[in-house]
Amino acid sequence: MVITLKDVADQAGVSIATASLALNNSSKVKAETFRRVHQIAQKLNYIPNARAQALVKRATKTIGLIIPEMVNPFFAELTQAIKDTVIKESYNIILCCTDYKSEEEVKYINMFKSGQVDGAIFSCMGDLMQKNDEMVLDLAKNYIPVVYVERDSPNHQIIPIIKSDLKDGAYQATKYLIELGHREIGFVGQSSERMEGYRQCITQHQIALNQQFIFYNYITIEGGIAVGKKLLKLVQRPTALVCLNDEMAIGVIQALTHGGIQVPQDISIIGTDNIKISNFYNPPLTTINVPKIKMGKKAGNILLKLMAGQKLPVSEHYLLYPTELIIRQSTALLSR
């Protein structure tokens, strides 16, 4: 049997309107009535109708979070940081996964337009989702507040941007490998920003760019395994690799190890993100730390401000977080 607001009101001896005011913590209700209504609601295990409340309050107390994949620990850690932030203001999260498909993102954008959320955070991947940016901009202009995390847009005044300096991260990774004596350095992953940092460092150090060592159309750990298998077939392999993320780096290492190639003795590998498992993999992964927890908390706080109708200071329209090289055991001095 479903307990209704009328059941609570009848047992409390008050009108439905008074019971509703009490359960919504209105100051218009006398203290004794407030206490009695709440006691009876608890006794009957009354659960308020969220949809009805949303219609009355014109708020769902829910935000949408769009991520490209759920299995990557980077997004798990980012999601947790956002959740921990918004839950303090009694907001829930609808977690939406695109599987790196722009058409899936379009479905979620249209769902958000229907009024199911009060605000939304879109995280990654800019290279793949640029064609949807106009739709997201329309969402932010005309429907709900929107924040981007690790995704860029020229419309910072409308959609605040929370980013890490991935270009510099790739530059740091490449420079470190050069300092270890490497000159035949490859790049793995689909990111124009990271590729730019890698290319810039290679060029500045007057190293010839070998297109055979660039594997661009890969994103996931399975992509890393595929790249590792391709490397095994090369007559001449790079002595070092800069990878899009830690998952891809682990995938590459897995494939190479199965093929008899040792890391870092035969090839040095650097990841990006500094996910928790990167420190416990064998070998522990040299990586670029991305401050995902700080970024997630900031994104949540900014969205809360926007949903509350606050005007953001200019300093919060575009936030760029520095990245940091974390040296572990998947890289070594060039031995040949």
Say if 123 falls within a structural domain.
yes
Q: Is the dihedral of CA 307, 308, 309, 315 positive or negative?
A: negative
SS3 content of the chain, % helix, strand, coil (to 5): 50, 15, 35
> What's the CATH number where 15 sits?
1.10.260.40
100 and 19 share one domain:
no
Say if 203 falls within a structural domain.
yes
Determine the average pLDDT of the residues in 9-29.
84
Alpha helix ranges (H) inside 234-317:
246-258, 292-307
At 73-129, the pLDDT tens digits run 999 999 999 999 999 999 999 999 998 888 899 999 999 988 889 999 999 765 555
Say if 90 falls within a structural domain.
yes
Q: For residues 154 and 329, what is the distance between their CA atoms, to the nearest angstrom?
A: 39
161 and 304 share one domain:
yes
Question: What is the model's pLDDT at position 129?
Answer: 54
Q: For residues 164 and 322, what is the distance between their CA atoms, to the nearest angstrom?
A: 6
> What's the CATH number where 75 sits?
3.40.50.2300
200 and 241 share one domain:
yes
273 and 176 share one domain:
yes
170 and 277 share one domain:
yes
174 and 31 share one domain:
no
Domain boundaries, position 211: 166-290
Say if 273 falls within a structural domain.
yes
Q: Which two tokens stand for residue 130?
A: 């640029």
Say if 330 falls within a structural domain.
no
Question: What is the model's pLDDT at position 57?
Answer: 52
pLDDT grade for 236, boundaries at 50, 70 and 90:
very high
Say if 335 falls within a structural domain.
no
Determine the average pLDDT of the residues in 167-178.
98
Indicate the pairing of strand 119-123 with strand 214-215.
unpaired
Question: What is the model's pLDDT at position 1?
Answer: 63
Q: Which two tokens stand for residue 258?
A: 């199965």
At 257-288, the pLDDT tens digits run 999 999 999 999 999 999 999 999 999 999 99
194 and 286 share one domain:
yes
234 and 261 share one domain:
yes
Mean pLDDT (the chain, rounded): 91
* SS3 call for 91: coil
Nearest Cα residue to 130 out of 95, 97, 96, 102: 102
Say if 312 falls within a structural domain.
yes
pLDDT grade for 55, boundaries at 50, 70 and 90:
very low
161 and 271 share one domain:
no
Total domain count, the chain: 3
User: Could you tell me what percent of the chain has a pLDDT over 70?
Assistant: 94
Say if 309 falls within a structural domain.
yes
First to last CA, the chain: 76
278 and 302 share one domain:
no
130 and 181 share one domain:
no
